[in-house]
Amino acid sequence: MRELPSRESAQFKQILKYYEFKQYKKGLKAAEQILKKYPEHGETLAMKGLFLNHMERKEEAREFARKGLRSDLNSHICWHVYGLLHRSDKNYGEALKCYTHALKIDKDNMQILQDYSLLQIQMRNYEAYNESRHHLLQLRSNNQRYWIGLAISYHLLENYETAGKVLKAYEETLKEKPSSMNFEYSEMLLYHNLILEESGDIKAALEHLESIKGEICDQRTWKEKRAQFLLKLDRFQEAEEAYLELIDDNPDCYSYYEGLHQAKKINVNSNNLTPEEEEKIITIYKELSQKYPKSNAIKRFPLQYITGENFKTLVDEYIRAALRKGVPSLFVNLKNFYDNPQKEKIIEQLVEGYLQCLKKHGTFTPPNENENEDDIIKEPPTAHLWTLYLLSQHYDNKRDNTKALKSIDEAIEHTPTLVELYMTKGRILKHGGNISEATKVMNEARELDLQDRFINSKCTKYMLRSNQPIEAENTIGLFTRGDAPDPITDLMEMQCMWFALEEADCYFRFNKLGKALKRLHQIEKHFSDITDDQFDFHTYCLRKVTLRAYLSMLRLEDQLRSHPYYLRSATNAIKIYLKLYDNPKTAALNDDDQDYANMTEGERKKAKSKAKRAALKKQKEDDEKKEKSKDEQKKRIEKPIDDDPEGEKFLKTDDPLGEAFKFLMPLQELSSKRIETHLLGFEIYLRKEKYLLALRALLQAYKIEKENATLHKDIIRFKLEVTSNRSKIHPTTIQVITEELTSKILPEDMNLIKFSEEFIERNKNSIEHLLVGAESFYLIDPSKKQEAGNLLLKVYDEKYNETRTLQNCISVYEALKNTFESPKAEEFYKKCKEWFPISTYFNQETK
Amino acid sequence: MGVPTKEPTIETKAVEDTKSIGNTNSPKTKKKRLTTTHRISLGDVTPNNLGQLKRLNSVLFPVNYSEKFYKDVLEVGEFAKLAYFNDACVGAVCCRKEPIQGTIPEQTKLYIMTLGVLAPYRNLGLGTTLLTHILHHATCGTPTAPKFIEIFLHVQTSNEEALAFYQKYGFEIIGTVEGYYKKITPPDAYILSKKLVKNI
């Protein structure tokens, strides 16, 4: 039964209107009225389902939609509704199928075609998208948005020519051009220009650009594009003029200066400019600085390229002006120049000189001898302060903890109210290996300025680093929304990833793997939410004609999981799943001692009592809050009940390697240039005994960074495992492995020992490589434990000074003690105590 | 300049209510220091920056002020201020209103509890800025906050510099309290006062 009597039929049409205008309640009521008389009317049932879905009654919604479809399989409405429900559940594949059915019944239905095309672009099904857009344009050829839609579909198929033609055809249909300042028209023209640019025909693009000048609202972009095109066409003289004009508009934009360099044919990328080129740069910037005396870019830019005395003169001016003015970010600005050790030395000498003079005379440089002390114009006292601040950051960068601490303490004594000073002190302590003291200092900084969100977040991060998740949650809670049920829920809603990442790390250290995984999966969810969120923009951007932004959004979404946050969360998730696979029992253990298994005795005691205190405090605060805000609580949004706060369901997975692999796939697709991706892939494949895939991972890693230390160890592990499992592996596989390894990595006449010896020799200044080398010898021949340990003792050699970092020394000590059981381990520990005087690791009393 | 010298400030410090406008040089030759450009500004004390005031007081005065001190400071409005030099917080003044009992309509005096500037920032006009701010607001009363009839404070008898500073702004010694300070010598303090309303 499809046809309703005329009264109900009119009512049904009304229902469709209600939906269009988002009057879901009214719609639901009307649908129910019809259903009273005709309970089996399929389309009404389906519409009821649709309304329920919008009223967050998902279960019922699905039931009605299904019922509707069953009663009326030939209705495009029923199929469309079913598709919409799938779409709202993000079942895009199923939704597509439903739409296809609906279109079979009513092939020219605009609404369905429209929704169909949205799904296709969401799924990046460009061919099908192109077809739908064709169909839509045929149906409505007078509407701008369908022309543009078709052009975009050709653009995405990289058919630039047709894309351009479509837009041109549309532009020609316009009887009169829109008034001069029409933003949408202007954006469309710029989009048209982008298509030409991407087609590679820069000459045509430039011609087009010149022809549309009068219609463009975004003149800045127009000028930038023109300058870029001129450069690409080697029209340097004009490009130079174009960039000078842009600099006149904004003398602080770096990319304009880069353009200017290219136009003037100065190859700034080469590290060694000739003296003539240096002079040229100095002259250019001297002229510019007279014209734009306030531009910071002009002062800073040449410093990147000039060297020696030239550098000294200009950097001297630059630093002094910044110290006088009080620029907290000065060190960050200077750090770029440290790539060049000579420049680093120059800066150090200059700043140390200032400090001496400031102490003596209150000036940066010694005054003339015949000048009267009272007549000297002194620098403001803050200059002294910022000099100390800069110097401490400089020493910290060199990891000279003692000098860095001395300078920063002096600065704090000079002006004890400045938040930045404590933050730097915290960072120095962290670098020196004393995270708990660093956290204390960060908290002091936070207390100086309670409305500073930045320092609050920094302090939170330090708390997590020093294993205090409860304090961290309380601290970050000071800045989350007051009406959120709790800080964590709010951070989740805000898709705040840094916190989740740090907290996951923190739980990982505690061995609370379930909780850590919970956070990491949450980050994965943020990424898929961001992917889903683009859905609305497919229509919105076409309507608003923000096409260039739309294109760049599509491209960003395609690369989304190449974001460093994803890389970090996926890496850790994979590591945890590998750990679960290797020690299935870890999942079951959850007692206190297990929590602190990775810490030393002292740390463990501290962490335990700290956690206890914090838990008590939190309990007390929670109770107080409950008392205080019983009324408020009503207003608050109900806290969603978390039925798995400990993340047990992740721990209980039957297939940890499969879970790990899910995190690996996006990395393989988007981060294939990162060696981490392949090293992690190797770990998974090796455990799955997929030797060919493991081999491929090794070969790819080898291509990226053949001297990577972990890679070397992995090659050894691989070779040893393949050899010992020889009988179980298919002969062809063995053959491929042998051929590939010998031809690409490990020459046939070389045994593993020699391979490792050469590896150490090639990387003779790196402790990390020495350690891996020693471990490799031990892996190859476990009876050579003592020799391997002795090899590692070379770590004292002077040539290792550069790489003797705290982290490396901790690894070496632990290897000496645990792996090689070397009697010399404690001697090394004592030496490290001298090298790292403030590190907690090397200064434990129990030793 | 250089490493801040602590002793002179402690000498000029009072236990409860001292002002430290000290100069590490000889007071006789005191002279405003010449420096390149700088900015001086005042700011309110708020619950968010109270930490900075506490830090300042802990460095400037050999006294731990109570939580009540800081609670009250948040209530006195313009009579508690932080001083900024090139955006760094380097000084502060904190006052308290003291109603005179038995006067009708009730009359009020203003008492300066603390006024101090970090050692490296002295003789740059910060103390003056703070004191003139207080004097200005104490004299130009508003309908809700009536004028004060008097403004007063204690200064350690040996603190010549602070004396000179306040005398420059019209304060006079109106008495001495022996043994006012418990932990520092000399333990005596002058009471310095400036009448703000004539004929009282």
CATH code of the domain in which B16 resides: 3.40.630.30
Best mutation target, B37, B74, B86, to test chain A (most A CBs within 10 A): B86
For residues A5 and A44, is the Cβ–Cβ distance under 8 A? no
Look-up: residue for tokens 């838990």? A615
| Gyration radius of chain B's alpha carbons | 16
The residues that bridge with B150 in the sheet, in sequence order, are B109, B195
Distance between CA atoms of residues A628 and A779, nearest Å = 62
For residues A367 and A361, is the Cβ–Cβ distance under 8 A? yes
For residues A163 and A151, is the Cβ–Cβ distance under 8 A? yes
| Catalytic site residue from B111, B166, B181, B190 | B111
To the query of whether residue B133 is one of the catalytic residues in this protein, the response is no
Give A294→chain B minimum CA distance, Å: 16
- Show residues of chain A in contact with B51, CB under 8 Å: 447-450
- Show residues of chain B in contact with A382, CB under 8 Å: 38, 85-86, 88
pLDDT of residue A627: 57
Give B128→chain A minimum CA distance, Å: 17
User: Angle at CA B61, nearest 5°, toward B56 and B67?
Assistant: 70
- pLDDT tens track for A228-279: 999 999 999 999 999 999 999 999 999 999 999 999 988 776 667 888 888 8
Distance between CA atoms of residues A410 and A420, nearest Å = 14
Instruction: Let me know if residue B95 belongs to a domain.
Output: yes
Of the candidates A414, A448, A451, the beta carbon closest to that of B4 is on: A414
- pLDDT tens track for A302-333: 998 899 999 999 999 999 999 999 999 999 99
Read off φ and ψ for residue A78, nearest 5 degrees.
-60, -45
pLDDT of residue A5: 86
Chain A interface includes B86 (CB < 8 A): yes
Verify whether the Cβ–Cβ distance B36 to A324 is below 8 Å. Answer: yes
Task: Report DSSP letters for A303-325, one per residue.
Answer: GGT--HHHHHHHHHHHHHHHHHH
Instruction: Let me know if residue B138 belongs to a domain.
Output: yes
Verify whether the Cβ–Cβ distance A416 to B56 is below 8 Å. Answer: yes
Verify whether the Cβ–Cβ distance B51 to A326 is below 8 Å. Answer: no
Of the candidates B35, B51, B118, the beta carbon closest to that of A379 is on: B35
Chain A interface includes B43 (CB < 8 A): no
Distance between CA atoms of residues A571 and A488, nearest Å = 23
For residue B31, give the 3-state DSSP assignment: coil
pLDDT of residue A602: 59
| Catalytic site residue from B70, B121, B137, B154 | B154
pLDDT of residue B198: 63
pLDDT in tens, chain B (200 residues): 333 333 333 223 333 333 444 433 444 444 555 566 789 999 999 999 999 999 999 999 888 899 999 999 999 999 999 999 999 999 999 999 998 888 777 788 999 999 999 999 999 999 999 999 999 998 876 555 557 889 999 999 999 999 999 999 999 999 999 999 888 888 999 999 998 876 54
Distance between CA atoms of residues A86 and A522, nearest Å = 23
The domain locations on chain A are 6-107, 760-847
Instruction: Let me know if residue B183 belongs to a domain.
Output: yes
* Contact residues for A205 (Cβ-Cβ < 8 A; gap 6+): A193, A196, A197, A199, A229
- Show residues of chain B in contact with A325, CB under 8 Å: 86
Of the candidates B3, B31, B90, the beta carbon closest to that of A413 is on: B3
Produce one character per residue of A579-606: b if its CB has 16 or more CB atoms within 10 Å, e if not.
bbbeeeebbeeeeeeebbeebeeebbeb
Counting every residue, how long is chain B? 200
- Show residues of chain B in contact with A385, CB under 8 Å: 88, 120
Instruction: Let me know if residue B1 belongs to a domain.
Output: no
pLDDT of residue A605: 61
To the query of whether residue B38 is one of the catalytic residues in this protein, the response is no
Q: In the CATH scheme, what is the homologous superfamily, with its name and number, of domain A6-107?
A: Tetratricopeptide repeat domain (1.25.40.10)
pLDDT of residue A696: 96
What tokens does A376 get?
């000297």
Q: Where are the extended beta strands (E) located within A106-217?
A: none
Query: Which residue of chain A comes nearest to B91, CA vs CA?
Result: A417
pLDDT of residue A348: 97
Q: Print the domain residue range for B75.
A: 7-23+37-195
Mean pLDDT by 10 residues, chain A (847 residues): 80 91 92 90 92 90 92 91 91 91 92 94 95 94 91 97 95 78 91 97 97 93 97 96 97 94 82 82 93 93 90 95 94 94 96 95 85 79 96 96 96 96 97 96 96 96 96 95 89 95 95 94 95 93 95 95 95 96 72 49 62 68 59 55 85 93 95 95 96 96 96 96 91 92 87 93 94 95 92 93 94 95 94 93 77
Instruction: Let me know if residue B89 belongs to a domain.
Output: yes
Distances from the Cα of A836 to the Cαs of A97, A400, A840, B70, in angstroms? 64, 9, 9, 41
Of the candidates B1, B33, B90, the beta carbon closest to that of A384 is on: B1
Give A379→chain B minimum CA distance, Å: 5
Chain A interface includes B126 (CB < 8 A): no
pLDDT of residue A637: 55
- Show residues of chain A in contact with B74, CB under 8 Å: none
Distances from the Cα of A144 to the Cαs of A90, A137, A154, A167, A211, in angstroms? 29, 9, 16, 10, 21
Taking alpha carbons only, the member of A839, A840, A842 closest to residue A830 is A842
Chain A interface includes B6 (CB < 8 A): no
Which ipTM was obtained for this model?
A: 0.82
Instruction: Let me know if residue B30 belongs to a domain.
Output: no
CA atoms within 13 A on the CB side of B151: 23
Verify whether the Cβ–Cβ distance B48 to A450 is below 8 Å. Answer: yes
Verify whether the Cβ–Cβ distance A449 to B48 is below 8 Å. Answer: yes
Domain count, chain B: 1
pLDDT of residue B26: 40
pLDDT of residue A551: 96
pLDDT of residue B140: 77
Task: For strands B107-117 and B88-100, give the pairing.
Answer: antiparallel
Give A381→chain B minimum CA distance, Å: 6
Chain A interface includes B37 (CB < 8 A): yes
pLDDT of residue B17: 36
Chain A interface includes B118 (CB < 8 A): yes
pLDDT of residue A266: 83
